[in-house]
Chain A
Amino acid sequence: MGSITLKQVTKSFDEVNVIKPLDLEIRDGEFIVFVGPSGCGKSTLLRMIAGLEDTTSGNIEIDGQDATSTPPAKRGLAMVFQSYALYPHMSVRNNIAFPLKRAKVPPAEIEEKIASAARILNLGDYLDRKPGQLSGGQRQRVAIGRAIVRQPSAFLFDEPLSNLDASLRVNMRLEISELHKSLKTTMIYVTHDQVEAMTMADRIAVFNAGVIEQVGTPLELYQYPVNRFVAGFIGSPKMNFIELDTPQEDGATCLGVRPEHIEITESGGLWQGKVGVVEHLGSETFLHVQVEGADTLTVKANGDCALRYGDDVYLGAQPNKILRFDSQGQTIANG
């Protein structure tokens, strides 16, 4: 079991409300990602769930039991930190054994669990090394190993991949996703990287300034963002926003269209512009087009796009792919 319910949870540091009253239901076995810009409160909320930060008001329930003031060790959760937080003076074996020793697990069982974790995470050859002798990826595996041997009801990941280089990050992302599929344990994963969020999550909670803007599956968030913030945060490259001088009939003051939904035509379209910087990525090309009467629009084109700096282009988009936002930044439903 590993369901976690947050009821009207808040957190204040002195006068600053870091987390405004917030409700969230995390289902047993799901992989939920908290995503948002730095300082939005996502890590603080994770630490509150872990018990490392006090909750100012509201309740945290784990498996239906109120755990708001339960100490971290008694919550049955395991956490993987951004800096790995391994014990530098202990070997990998002792790092993984530490939570088991604290729980007074019999030595034979400890050995068994270490062996099983080492097998899952490919750590067999490193068990007698100290963390200082391991690479970043190996250290992260040890941190995960230390978490899985406890068989927690949920795993908490606090930006676990941000200290790794790009290619390793992709590998570890897959490994964590596979781990989730095999363990089927609830995982709460904090990141500021929307690509990680989109690729790993069953559901994503988008945070902004201490509130959850939207919770949904990656595709729901991509296709139906509730407001301009979510629309801009999810998707890469970012959605283009076009401010309107005069509001439309439905009250729209801003249009949003994703780079991949803009079509380039040679004769006539919604917008006319001049091609600026062209970024060739091989499989695709990003064009930054300076549109008359608007800002620069980013357009995603095929990898073999032949347009060059200074070319004149017309841009268009399917009407159902254009999002409309009111003056409050809320999405206006397509009617």
Chain B
Amino acid sequence: MAIQSSNKSKIIYTLLAWSISAAIFFPIFWTLLTSFKTEAEAISASPSLFMFDWTLENYQDVLARSPYFEHFWNSVVISLGSSLIGLLIAIPAAWSMAFVQTKRTKNLLMWMLSTKMLPPVGVLIPIYLLFRDFDLLDTKLGLVIVMTLINLPIMVWMLYTYFREIPNEILEASRMDGASIKAEIFHVLLPIALPGIASTLLLNVILAWNEAFWTLILTAANAAPLTAFIASYSSPEGLFYAKLSAASAMAIAPILILGWFSQKQLVRGLTFGAVK
């Protein structure tokens, strides 16, 4: 009886998981399909799932109309740049919070996290004015700075969680063995925490790649990443669903591929510390 009911619940949960995954994936799937339709089929009142005239003309149009590779390069520079600089700041911060704790460490961590709860629009005007005054509008440097600051709390939190998993005694042993703080971090802490650091980097690359609010506001042409490239297809001329879908597919493809290959690492990284 018990086995039967546990099998039953297994089937129910599996079905539930598949349905939720399908629901989440459906918009992406539909976008991909639409990108291969003509504009007329894309807005058809009775859309067909597979029975349409497959065409690559949307992709050709998009590539002809916009400098896709420039946007792609901007996305790479902004997401990778901000994630790497973020790591440089977050690693020492997380090290001190994890291993040199004071009474206020927890409060500091909570305060850092609370900045993520603030709607970004709340700081829109000051940041915009600062960018204008420092000539950072529509520059990759400006976006790297903003993305670094936005994602820093998440990076510190993630690294803090990984570092807490490392027994303090190992670092103390290295101190007894004559390691300076630099040697302790580079020879002991970082190699042990490498999986956690890698998943922090990956997640932040993805977050920065997908960030749209600041990129749309702070860039125009020179530094516009792929998010701005997609947005340019919802223009005053009207919505061209098929082209918009082709642009979206091209914008998300690189990060989707990266995510696919690193999913094992990402899942391990995100559940790290949850189960001891």
Contact = CB atoms under 8 A, between A and B. Distances in A.
Q: Do A and B bind each other?
A: yes
Interface of B: 167, 169-170, 172-179, 183, 187-188, 191-192
Given A81-B169, A87-B170, A73 B191 contact: no
Contacts of B169: 81-83, 85
A89 B167 contact: no
Interface in A257-285: none
A150 B177 contact: yes
Contacts, number: 55
Most buried by B among A77, A82, A83, A103: A83
B236 to A, nearest CB: 57
B261 to A, nearest CB: 24
A88 B178 CA distance: 18
Given A85-B167, A89-B192, A98 B174 contact: yes
A79 B192 contact: no
B198 to A, nearest CB: 14
B50 to A, nearest CB: 50
A32 interface: no
Contact of A146 (B177, B179, B187, B192): B177
A86 B167 CA distance: 10
B188 A85 contact: no
Given A87-B188, A88-B192, A89-B192, A52 B175 contact: yes
Interface in A70-103: 71-73, 77-79, 81-83, 85-89, 98-99, 102-103
A72 B170 contact: no
Given A87-B188, A89-B191, A52 B178 contact: no
Contact of B176 (A50, A88, A89): A50
Given A85-B167, A88-B192, A52 B172 contact: yes
B103 to A, nearest CB: 9
B173 A73 contact: no
7 contacts: A72-B175, A72-B176, A79-B172, A85-B167, A86-B170, A87-B170, A146-B177
B222 to A, nearest CB: 43
A99 B178 contact: yes
Contacts of A83: 167, 169
A85 B178 contact: no
B182 to A, nearest CB: 11
Interface in A119-164: 146, 150
Contacts of A81: 169, 172-173
B173 A79 contact: yes
Contacts of B176: 50, 52, 72-73, 77-79, 99
A52 B175 CA distance: 8
Interface residues of A, number: 22
A73 B175 contact: yes
A77 B183 CA distance: 19
Interface of A: 50, 52, 71-73, 77-79, 81-83, 85-89, 98-99, 102-103, 146, 150
Nearest to B190: A89
A83 B167 CA distance: 9
Nearest to A94: B187
Given A73-B179, A102-B179, A102-B183, A87 B172 contact: no
A84 to B, nearest CB: 8
B191 A98 contact: no
A103 B176 CA distance: 12
A30 to B, nearest CB: 21
B218 to A, nearest CB: 41
7 nearest interchain CB pairs? A99-B177, A102-B178, A73-B178, A85-B173, A85-B169, A89-B191, A81-B169
For B167, B173, B178, which residue has the most chain A Cβ atoms within 10 angstroms? B173
A140 B66 CA distance: 64
B24 to A, nearest CB: 37
Nearest to A75: B176
B268 to A, nearest CB: 16
Q: Interface centre among B172, B178, B179, B187, by most A CB within 10 Å? A: B178
Nearest to A83: B169
Nearest to A146: B177
A150 B167 CA distance: 23
A119 B82 CA distance: 50
A244 B188 CA distance: 59
B170 A85 contact: yes
B20 to A, nearest CB: 37
